[in-house]
Amino acid sequence: MKFLLLGSEGQLGTALQKKLSTLSIPFEYFSRKDLNIEDIGQIKKYLSGVDFDLVINCAAYTSVDAAENNTQAAFLANEIGSKNLAIYCNDYSKKLIHISTDFVFDGNKNSPYAPSDITNPINIYGSSKLAGEKHIMELCSKYIIIRTSWVFGGKGNNFFSTVCRLAKTSSPLSIIGDQFGSPTYVFDLADAVIASASSLVTDKESKLESIYGIYHYAGSPECSWYDFAEYILNQGAIAKKLPHNFKLQKIKSSEFKTAAKRPQYSALDSSSFCNAFSCKPSNWKQGVDELFFSEIL
């Protein structure tokens, strides 16, 4: 069993490297600077001499607001890159796990989205990710698409790191209280990806025929950005990693203008994934506690 990890220097890619190394699972990895998946010629050239059973694709254009003014770049990475991988995996009989997003939905629902729910993205980032999904479904016969949301922890800028940084300033924090979703701890997501990848490699093909498809894996319970920030600040203060005298203000999304429109509600139902691969949803509160109390910070 050997995995190929693409997008290795991103938030999830870095977490996966740590988890795979800890579990002593063999893997090869490429960052964007090593391999540009927008170029199918590069994919064939660089992967021709690499031995692996399955591709885990974490490579993506993930800057939601910047995508509004960089449409071509977003679609090149998220649509064309995914299309190229789908073609390659199908042509060379490789299995593919692809990471997608809750932003393929419009946010008009008021209960967690199931994988079968109708997609209707409301921003460029979501549209580009959905376009990539469609190519994979059409062009690759052995794939799993994992939609996730509000990923935090680990490398890079994310909501957790931003709240922690701003809490150390004297400025009050204004956090949106009317957008709801499923925060997902990056190391839980990495565990989930590895669990599904291991099944795809070790299970019999007759079983896998009913497993291939789209899944959701995200955190529980659902909450607002305000709820999420409040828990981070409280636990950070208890752990003596953040000041106690923080000022937190709940605002409406209409008061916080961003280039890209966000879904008002994008919580994900992870039950089909957890049933298929015998795992639990990410508990985002436990994830926050681990970041503060296990000396990761």
Beta strands in the chain (DSSP E): 3-6, 27-30, 54-57, 95-101, 143-148, 151-152, 173-176, 180-181, 184-185, 213-216, 219-220, 223-224, 248-251, 282-283
Out of 29, 125, 185, 215, which one is annotated catalytic?
125
Say if residue 26 is preceded by a cis peptide, omega within 30 of 0: no
Please tell me whether residue 152 adopts helix, strand or coil conformation. Answer: strand
Among 27, 165, 37, which Cα is nearest to 99's? 37
Of 43, 157, 182, nearest in space to 107 by CA: 182
Question: Would the CA dihedral through 85, 132, 26, 204 be positive or negative?
Answer: negative
Rounded Cα distance, 91 and 93, in Å: 6
Give the three-state DSSP class for 94. Answer: coil
Question: Is 125 designated active site?
Answer: yes
Q: For residue 276, how many C-alpha atoms fall within 13 Å in the half-sphere facing its CB?
A: 26
Rounded to whole angstroms, how far apart are CA atoms 146 and 189? 10
Rounded to 10 degrees, what is the CA torsion of 260, 78, 56, 162?
-20
Distance CA 134, CA 255 (A): 34
Give residues with Cβ within 8 angstroms of 44, minimum separation 6. Answer: 88
Residues 6+ apart with CB under 8 A from 168: 242, 243
Indicate which residues carry an active-site annotation: 125
